[in-house]
Amino acid sequence: EPEVTQTPSHQVTQMGQEVILRCVPISNHLYFYWYRQILGQKVEFLVSFYNNEISEKSEIFDDQFSVERPDGSNFTLKIRSTKLEDSAMYFCASSEHGVFGDTQYFGPGTRLTVL
Amino acid sequence: DQQVKQNSPSLSVQEGRISILNCDYTNSMFDYFLWYKKYPAEGPTFLISISSIKDKNEDGRFTVFLNKSAKHLSLHIVPSQPGDSAVYFCAARLAYQGAQKLVFGQGTRLTINP
């Protein structure tokens, strides 16, 4: 069964450093998403991406964040200058067509620890 | 952001019995609801969904009920099995053009006891 994959599973970084989290969405899916879950809190939407453009983003997704589809398979989330409060599980998701009734399928997550 | 709430942080059910997980929402603009299951160190796994034009959707042991007037949905698992022990999230999506984001509840940890 096709699945969303993410690398690395765990990333430790120093505050102020840049990190790139990588995702390979399901191959025939056209919409891609990033969510995060801070320990003990809800899963929160960050951004959705379609046709090489951001289609929706939350207030959390400020200028320190960016997303990119550098090639035909990868989807990345870059955090330019990490802060302590960026420590969280980051989940990538993908869906087939993004319209009503579409289901988002999630990857296993990357645990980001900012020291 | 309390638009989607799961008021029970945990639930313990005996194997073979019915598990009922509840979810309330406040935004009447939500029109599509999903349930996800999550094991530790894994991502959320899609279970079942329901659109706002229905009041029930069934898939094997899983049934989701939607009460729009009460802004309430529930997930029924019957019979419950040990492998169902996980955290269950309900999520909702807004009904406007281009909306894709899911709004999640806090999750309910379900434990199935043998």
pLDDT in tens, A82-91: 999 999 999 9
Pairing mode, strands B19-25 and B4-5: antiparallel
pLDDT band of residue A2 (cuts 50, 70, 90) is confident
**Number of A–B residue contacts, CB under 8 Å:** 63
Contact B44 A43 (CB under 8 A): yes
Predicted pLDDT of residue B1: 54
Q: How many CB atoms lie within 10 A of CB B18?
A: 13
Q: Which residues of A touch B42 (CB under 8 A)?
A: 108-109
Which residues does chain A have within 8 Å of residue B44's beta carbon, measured at their own beta carbons? 43, 91, 106
- Residue among A10, A23, A32, A42 with most chain B CBs within 10 A, to mutate: A42
Q: Of B102, B30, B39, which Cα lies nearest the Cα of B73?
A: B30
How close A82 comes to chain B (CA, Å)?
23
A103 in contact with B, Cβ within 8 Å? yes
Q: Which of A89, A91, A87, A97 is nearest to A23 (CA)?
A: A91
* Nearest partner of A56 among B44, B46, B94, judged by Cα: B94
Q: Say yes or no for a CB contact (<8 Å) between A35 and B45.
A: no
* Nearest CB neighbour to B102, from listed A45, A100, A107: A45
- CB-nearest to B104 from A43, A58, A101 is A43
For residue B2, name the pLDDT band (cuts at 50, 70, 90): low
**Residue A41 · residue A55 · CB < 8 Å:** no
Q: How far is CA A2 from CA A26, A36, B16, B105, B109, in A?
A: 6, 22, 31, 26, 27
Q: Is A79 exposed, middle or buried (0-12, 13-18, 19+ CB in 10 A)?
A: buried
What is the tens place of the pLDDT at every residue in B50-108?
999 999 999 999 999 999 999 999 999 999 999 999 999 999 998 666 668 899 999 99
Would the CB atoms of A98 and B100 count as touching at under 8 Å? yes
Which position has the token pair 């980051």? A90
Residue A52 is encoded by which pair of tokens? 């090489």
